[in-house]
């Protein structure tokens, strides 16, 4: 095997297995030489990825995406870009490259590791994200939240060019508001060093470590009223969970409002975007109203002073939603050190909910 690809596999698994950096199917990694770029296939888990989990693309064909004009209609535009990405594939043609492939292409370093670390997103999902990022990481590039896909790529592309014009080189660290971080270098050791430094800086900013036990209770709880609304056909798995961290946010409705809407696209993909708060497990009318307004049954339901209910299609999906939502709670707690958490807007959430690419990721995650 190409030694560089071996390094890519090793660093992908290293971060993919670490829940402080990657949960569920999030994150992506790449390696490029002069002619080709290898990037994680959409829906592939970094934790277990091998060589066949990457898609190899032509860099010359990828470069045309930055220069081409696309439809002003967002749905048509994303379909056109998806088709051009597919046309750039060298092998295997039956897998989709990550939607962030073009961003990996324009970063001028061999290795790129994009993750969604809990501590990074405590900063990125906070009301003071831009100001604190400039203070803590003056050499990094900060990108305000932008709908993922082509529009985000073009913003990053233009901002990288501005950065290079000013500083004479590409940024090695790119922070994306309400999303995550890209770290790039020409060798994996430097990627690790950069990540370690970022983590060190953020840890120094955290006023208080999570004052909670990691213990999680899966409780035998009367969920009949909730089940009758979210799962009338009895086809789903509905479970109740509680922990010190969950209790911290569900003890009163005002506190829960800090985590009642998604912070990142991954939250939406795996746990949907909104999470209702019930005064008691018998408060089924709130759920009926929620479903009527949102058009879907929630995956996460908070019950005042008790815990959360998760409703999903399988045990695997329940575990994924619990992992994603628990990480969101941690981000909400740590974000208090950066002015408090900031959820995505209704417009940003609607784009993700309706984007074909993310619906594809949802489907892959259930396999």
Q: What is the 3-state secondary structure (H, E, C) of 70-107?
A: CCCCHHHHHHHHHHHHHHCEEECCCCCECCCHHHHHHC
Residue of 92, 143, 112, 120 whose CA lies nearest to 29: 112
Q: How confident is the model at residue 149 (pLDDT cuts 50, 70, 90)?
A: confident
Averaged pLDDT, 164-180: 97
Topology of the domain comprising 217-365: L-fuculose-1-phosphate Aldolase (3.40.225)
| Domain 3-205 falls under CATH 3.40.50.1970 | no
Contact status, residue 69 vs residue 29, Cβ threshold 8 Å: no
- For a pLDDT cut of 90, what percent of the chain falls above it? 82
Residue range 66-112, pLDDT digits in tens: 889 999 888 899 899 999 999 999 999 999 999 899 999 999 999 99
With b for 16 or more beta-carbon neighbours within 10 A and e for fewer, the 75-112 pattern comes to eebbebbbebbeebbeeeeebbbbbbbbbbbbbebbbb
Residue range 309-356, pLDDT digits in tens: 999 999 999 999 999 999 999 999 999 989 999 999 999 999 998 875
Contact status, residue 93 vs residue 26, Cβ threshold 8 Å: no
Residue of 47, 30, 15, 41 whose CA lies nearest to 112: 30
Residue 34 confidence (pLDDT) above 90: yes
CA distances to 79, 227, 230, 276 from 234, in Å: 37, 8, 9, 21
Q: What is the pLDDT of residue 362?
A: 46
Q: What is the pLDDT of residue 360?
A: 46
Contact status, residue 54 vs residue 147, Cβ threshold 8 Å: no
Averaged pLDDT, 355-364: 51
Residue 301 confidence (pLDDT) above 80: yes
Q: Is the peptide bond before 121 cis (omega within 30 degrees of 0)?
A: no
Whole-prediction pTM: 0.93
> Cα 162 to the chain's mean position, in Å?
26
CA gap 114, 135 in Å, rounded: 22
CA gap 18, 81 in Å, rounded: 32
- For a pLDDT cut of 70, what percent of the chain falls above it? 96
CA gap 118, 140 in Å, rounded: 18
Do 217-365 and 3-205 have the same topology in CATH? yes
DSSP string covering 99-159, please?
TTHHHHHHS-SSEEEEE--HHHHHHHTBTTHHHHHHHH-TTSEEE----TTHHHHHHHHHH
Indicate the domain borders of the chain: 3-205, 217-365
Q: How confident is the model at residue 280 (pLDDT cuts 50, 70, 90)?
A: very high
Averaged pLDDT, 213-242: 87
State whether the Cα torsion 55-58-61-62 is positive or negative: positive
Q: How confident is the model at residue 367 (pLDDT cuts 50, 70, 90)?
A: low
Q: What is the pLDDT of residue 67?
A: 87
DSSP string covering 247-273, please?
HHHHSSHHHHGGGSB-SSHHHHHHH-S
Listed as own residue / partner, the contacts of 277-286 with beta carbons closer than 8 Å and 24 or more positions apart are 277/250, 277/253, 277/302, 277/304, 278/226, 278/302, 278/303, 278/304, 279/304, 280/304, 281/221, 281/222, 281/223, 281/225, 281/226, 281/306, 281/309, 282/225, 283/225, 284/225, 284/226, 284/228, 284/229
Averaged pLDDT, 216-228: 85
Averaged pLDDT, 260-264: 98
> Cα 34 to the chain's mean position, in Å?
29
**Which one is predicted more confidently, 214 or 38?**
38
Averaged pLDDT, 116-127: 97
Residues 6+ apart with CB under 8 A from 366: 313, 314, 316, 317
Residues 6+ apart with CB under 8 A from 72: none
């Amino acid at each position: 095997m190409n030694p560089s690809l071996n390094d890519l596999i090793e660093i992908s698994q290293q971060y993919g297995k670490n829940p402080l950096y990657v949960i569920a199917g999030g994150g992506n990694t790449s390696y490029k030489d002069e002619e080709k770029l290898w990037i994680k296939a959409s829906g592939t888990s970094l934790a277990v990825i091998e060589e066949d989990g990457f898609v190899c693309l032509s860099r010359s064909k990828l470069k045309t995406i930055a220069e081409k004009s696309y439809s002003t209609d967002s749905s048509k535009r994303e379909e056109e870009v998806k088709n051009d990405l597919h046309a750039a594939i060298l092998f295997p043609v039956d897998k989709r490259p990550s939607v962030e492939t073009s961003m990996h292409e324009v970063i001028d370093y061999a290795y790129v590791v994009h993750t969604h670390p809990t501590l990074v997103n405590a900063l990125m999902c906070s009301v003071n994200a831009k100001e604190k990022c400039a203070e803590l990481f003056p050499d990094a590039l900060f990108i305000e939240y932008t709908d993922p896909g082509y529009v985000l790529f073009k913003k990053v592309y233009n901002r990288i060019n501005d950065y290079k014009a000013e500083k004479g080189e590409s940024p090695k660290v790119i922070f994306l508001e309400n999303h995550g971080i890209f770290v790039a270098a020409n060798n994996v050791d430097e990627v690790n060093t950069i990540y370690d430094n970022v983590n060190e800086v953020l840890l120094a900013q955290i006023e208080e470590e999570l004052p909670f036990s990691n213990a999680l209770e899966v409780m035998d709880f009367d969920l009949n009223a909730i089940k009758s609304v979210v799962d009338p056909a009895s086809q789903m798995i509905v479970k109740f969970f509680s922990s010190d961290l969950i209790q911290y946010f569900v003890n009163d409705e005002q506190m829960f409002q800090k985590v009642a809407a998604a912070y990142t696209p991954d939250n939406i993909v795996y746990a949907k975007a909104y999470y209702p708060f019930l005064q008691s497990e018998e408060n089924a009318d709130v759920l009926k109203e929620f479903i009527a307004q949102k058009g879907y049954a929630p995956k996460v339901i908070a019950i005042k002073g008790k815990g959360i209910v998760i409703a999903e299609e399988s045990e695997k999906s329940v575990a994924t939603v619990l992992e994603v939502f628990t990480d969101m709670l941690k981000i909400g707690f740590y974000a208090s050190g950066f002015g408090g958490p900031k959820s995505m807007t209704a417009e940003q959430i609607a784009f993700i909910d309706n984007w074909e690419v993310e619906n594809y990721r949802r489907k892959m995650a259930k396999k």
